[in-house]
Amino acid sequence: MKRAVVVFLVAALALSMLAVLAGCGSDADKDEAMQLMKSGDAYMAEVKQMTKDLEAEQTDLAAAALEGDMSAISGEAGAALQEMVMGILDAIAENLEAASAEYEKIIALSGVQDYKDYANKMIEAIGVYMEQLDYTGQLVDMLTEALAAMAAGEDIDIISLMMDSEELKKVGELGQEGDALAAEAKQIQEDKKLEE
């Protein structure tokens, strides 16, 4: 009887050790998770830079419009500007999708739960940012229509139109939500020392 208890305890201990080791993932999985995280983060850094560039362009255009200079946002210049903005929005979407794909690969790895927590939070943030991009595209379309109406002689207060739009409010709200989720992911990354 005593021997059966010892055999049982040894077997239970062995199984529990296997369970612990299985949950940890291999060093190769950890290395792969870190590389995938860094790759996803590089795409997100590119998104951040493109967003800053777009915001700077918007600030310059808004300042000119407030001074009454509509030359940069009307006629051929307006069409070129719209094409440029839509190109930037498409590039942002492509980088968000690429980042998400890298984070999804982390989730498929064994173990590496801390990396998975980070990846899940970033995927959630990317989903919000993608929704924000949809609303931004709607704003560009609204502005394009307003500029066309102005070119046809209609008197339109573009600033009021944009500031009162539900789309602009959603862009702001979604931006804050996405940034909060990305900050939570960054906190996981720092707390768990995932870059080491």
Report the pLDDT averaged over residues 101-121: 97
Over residues 7-40, the pLDDT tens digits come to 444 444 444 444 344 444 568 899 999 999 999 9
- Which of 71-80, 162-171, 182-191 is most confident? 182-191
Please, what is the average pLDDT of the chain?
A: 84
Residue 5 in this model has a pLDDT that exceeds 80: no
Residue 194 in this model has a pLDDT that exceeds 90: yes
Taking CA atoms, 140 is separated from 26, 48, 134, 172, in Å, by: 48, 19, 10, 15
Q: Which residues contact 171 (CB under 8 A, 6 or more apart)?
A: 132, 135, 136, 139
How is residue 24 annotated by DSSP? H
**pLDDT on residue 15:** 43
Residue 160 in this model has a pLDDT that exceeds 90: no
Q: Which residues contact 61 (CB under 8 A, 6 or more apart)?
A: 72, 73, 81
* Owner of token pair 């700077």: 56
Over residues 36-71, the pLDDT tens digits come to 999 999 999 999 999 999 888 887 777 776 676 777
Report the sign of the C-alpha dihedral through residues 144, 149, 152, 156, in that order: negative
**pLDDT on residue 66:** 65
Report H helices in 152-194: 158-163, 166-191
Q: Where do the DSSP E strands lie in 10-72? A: none
Q: Which tokens in the block code for residue 23?
A: 């949950």
Candidates 80, 126, 105, 100; CA nearest to 40 is 100
User: Reduced to 3 states, what is the DSSP secondary structure of residue 152?
Assistant: coil
Q: Which tokens in the block code for residue 90?
A: 């498409």
The CATH code of domain 26-191 reads 1.20.120
Selected residue with higher pLDDT from 101 and 74: 101
**pLDDT on residue 149:** 80
How is residue 110 annotated by DSSP? S
